[in-house]
Amino acid sequence: MRLFEYTALQIKEKIISGEIRPVDLTKQFIEQIKNIDPHVQAYLSIHEDEALKKAAQIQKKIENAENVGFLAGVPIAIKDNICTKGLHTTCASKILRNFIPPYDACVVKRLKEEDAIILGKTNLDEFAMGSSTENSGYKITRNPWNPEYVPGGSSGGSAAAVAADLSIMALGSDTGGSVRQPAALCGVVGVKPTYGRVSRFGLIAFGSSLDQIGTFTRDVKDAALLLQVIAGHDFHDSTSMPVPVPDYLREIDAGVRGLRIGIPKEYFSAGLNEDVHNALKNVLRKYEQLGANVIDISLPHTEYAVAVYYIVANAEASSNLARYDGVRYGYRASKSNGIVDMYCRTRSEGFGNEVKRRIMLGNYALSSGYYDAYYLKASRVRNLIKGDFDGAFQKVDCIICPTSPVPGFKIGERAKNPLEMYLSDIYTIPANLAGIPGISLPCGFSKEGLPIGMQILGKHFEEKKLLQIAYAFERETDFHRKKPVLKFSLTQK
Ligand code: GLN
């Protein structure tokens, strides 16, 4: 096994025992990123000096037999919409090209306290708006399994970095599927925690009633490890809930005997790719063999989820993005005729097309005379969607469905058609509207050799149970151990 392929738990053990030195490991990862990433384009910035400095500190602690953190020496990549003190945080937008946050996001602070090594910041769709990472203001990330395909989005850089062995773990954000969908498309494990489980202090806001920070890892145990570090109440984010964080790794092998798994008929309807459907059938067979009961359920308002999401998310985005006016942050237009003209030029030049589209749609939905017809109505339907889940969880312990309706799509294939792109998230969006947790894990491959992900959804704050259910499947299968063979030609830089 190559060094890059170890899980975080394995690496941590080797570091603590002295078998691997953090500085050597970090150097090797930086080298690997420099060689491979020009083809994958997962990173927007690499933090070589800071990473090596941190590695040296951890090395010293180990040599002096001092205590080390929970993630001692483990390399991690961070989506570039999560603030890192003193280091660029661009949201993949030109408007934040020069933004250097004066503080660390809560999750970054916790990672540092637990001795993780931050390798760099990863690419995303501008302001996390998209499902393919093609909307980045800087570059297009490629799917390590096939460079002609998108890695998913919006956290495509983080998913591709873990899949291509350019990091062992990564953080992303999930407003409508941006952790789970790219995890599925890149063949890694992605967790979107419950709304309120992880502090969003320092996460650049998109849709404030939907946003959550989530994890990308090679396997389920690493997801448990990373969630353990980032979860829990934070004084700086009043939406983070003051509820205890369980030990996610303890009892992760509890199994699924007697568990009731709900299969929502609305998630297995027209439009579902045949390979994905077949992979999911095998998943359910496996769970039945392991002693679970598979039960048909209905989530009747599912068909409205995408429409509701694009009103709520855009309305919130239009308000959140009003702060980028060229006065306090980032880019300012060089020529202007007075202050109003300066705002207009700054925003016209600084934002990309998708971001502008959403700001306009969001402002429209919130404007007087339309508010009731759009925003208010969407909020009401959102409640019905949440009610569907509440009802289902009276009958079942979890819900299993595909993460994405297709195994992947080619770069450029959906870029010109926003509606087609929006439908990529049809199975992930309802969980954000309801605030419930979800996990995506590898469960098969398509005929073209692209990974397929399954999704497990659970009740609020039941991440522990989701991880147990996911682990029960993972330990019986080896989809998560398969690695992409990188086939990048040099012309594809
Ligand atoms: N693809 C969805 C969107 O474009 C979700 C994005 C996300 O979760 N950040 O809004």
Look up the CATH number of the domain holding residue 225. Answer: 3.90.1300.10
Claim to verify: residue 358 and residue 231 sit in the same structural domain: no
Last residue of a domain, which of 327, 355, 380? 380
Burial class of 476 by CB neighbour count within 10 A (0 to 12, 13 to 18, 19+): exposed
Ligand 1 site-directed mutation target among 124, 125, 359, most atoms within 8 Å of CB: 125
**Active site (annotated) includes residue 154:** yes
Residue 172 contacts residue 79 (beta carbons within 8 Å) = yes
Positions of the chain with pLDDT lower than 50, given as ranges: 490-493
**177 Cα nearest atom in ligand 1:** 8
Answer yes or no: is the C-beta of 129 below 6 A from any ligand 1 atom: yes
User: What is the number of domains present in the chain?
Assistant: 2
Claim to verify: residue 71 and residue 173 sit in the same structural domain: yes
CA distance 113 to 101: 19
Claim to verify: residue 65 and residue 164 sit in the same structural domain: yes
Claim to verify: residue 72 and residue 163 sit in the same structural domain: yes
**Active site (annotated) includes residue 208:** no
Ligand 1 site-directed mutation target among 122, 131, 210, 423, most atoms within 8 Å of CB: 131
pLDDT score recorded for residue 493: 43
Kindly state whether residue 252 falls inside one of the protein's structural domains: yes
Claim to verify: residue 411 and residue 367 sit in the same structural domain: no
Claim to verify: residue 247 and residue 315 sit in the same structural domain: no
**354 Cα nearest atom in ligand 1:** 4
Kindly state whether residue 435 falls inside one of the protein's structural domains: yes
pLDDT score recorded for residue 471: 98
What is the pTM (predicted TM-score) of this model? 0.97
Helix or strand run (H / E) with residue 333: none
Answer yes or no: is the C-beta of 137 below 6 A from any ligand 1 atom: no
Which amino acid makes up residue 259?
A: L
Cα→Cα distances 465→183, 193, 232, Å: 20, 12, 17
Q: Residue 185: phi, psi to the nearest 5?
A: -70, -25
Q: How far is the CA of 177 from the centre of ligand 1 (A)?
A: 6
Cα→Cα distances 167→281, 384, 415, Å: 32, 40, 28
Q: Which residue is closest in CA terms to ligand 1's atom 10?
A: 129
pLDDT score recorded for residue 491: 47
Claim to verify: residue 204 and residue 107 sit in the same structural domain: yes
Which amino acid makes up residue 475?
A: R
Q: How far is the CA of 306 from the centre of ligand 1 (A)?
A: 11
pLDDT score recorded for residue 40: 98
Cα→Cα distances 447→12, 48, 273, 412, Å: 36, 39, 11, 21
Residue 191 contacts residue 214 (beta carbons within 8 Å) = yes
Claim to verify: residue 118 and residue 8 sit in the same structural domain: yes
Claim to verify: residue 188 and residue 84 sit in the same structural domain: yes
pLDDT score recorded for residue 271: 82
Kindly state whether residue 284 falls inside one of the protein's structural domains: no
Claim to verify: residue 175 and residue 245 sit in the same structural domain: yes
Which amino acid makes up residue 397?
A: D
pLDDT score recorded for residue 423: 85
- Dihedral (Cα; 242, 244, 248, 249), 10-degree rounding: 140
Query: What strands lie across the sheet with 398-402, from one edge to the other?
Result: 43-46, 117-122, 75-79, 169-174, 212-217, 189-192, 438-445, 451-457, 398-402, 260-264, 293-297
pLDDT score recorded for residue 260: 98
Q: How far is the CA of 491 from the centre of ligand 1 (A)?
A: 30
Helix or strand run (H / E) with residue 150: none
pLDDT score recorded for residue 53: 98
Beta bridge partners of 211: none
Instruction: Please say whether the dihedral angle defined by the alpha carbons of residues 286, 287, 290 and 291, taken in this order, is positive or negative.
Output: negative
Instruction: Please say whether the dihedral angle defined by the alpha carbons of residues 235, 240, 244 and 248, taken in this order, is positive or negative.
Output: negative
Q: How far is the CA of 400 from the centre of ligand 1 (A)?
A: 21
Residue 237 is classified by DSSP as B
Ligand 1 site-directed mutation target among 178, 357, 419, 426, most atoms within 8 Å of CB: 178
pLDDT score recorded for residue 270: 77
Cα→Cα distances 479→161, 454, 482, Å: 18, 11, 6
Q: How are beta strands 260-264 and 398-402 bridged, if at all? A: parallel
Q: How far is the CA of 198 from the centre of ligand 1 (A)?
A: 18
Kindly state whether residue 278 falls inside one of the protein's structural domains: no
**Active site (annotated) includes residue 348:** no
pLDDT score recorded for residue 492: 47
Which ranges constitute the DSSP H helices of 423-462?
Answer: 429-434
Residue 451 contacts residue 480 (beta carbons within 8 Å) = no
Is residue 154 reached through a cis peptide bond, with omega within 30 degrees of 0 on the bond before it?
yes
Residue 440 contacts residue 180 (beta carbons within 8 Å) = yes
Kindly state whether residue 270 falls inside one of the protein's structural domains: no
Q: How far is the CA of 428 from the centre of ligand 1 (A)?
A: 9
Claim to verify: residue 433 and residue 476 sit in the same structural domain: yes
Q: Which of 132, 155, 158, 178 is catalytic?
A: 178
Residue 211 is classified by DSSP as -
Last residue of a domain, which of 350, 380, 410? 380
Give residue 313's domain range. Answer: 303-380
Answer yes or no: is the C-beta of 174 below 6 A from any ligand 1 atom: yes
Kindly state whether residue 269 falls inside one of the protein's structural domains: no
Claim to verify: residue 162 and residue 311 sit in the same structural domain: no
Kindly state whether residue 267 falls inside one of the protein's structural domains: no
Last residue of a domain, which of 380, 406, 430? 380
Kindly state whether residue 73 falls inside one of the protein's structural domains: yes
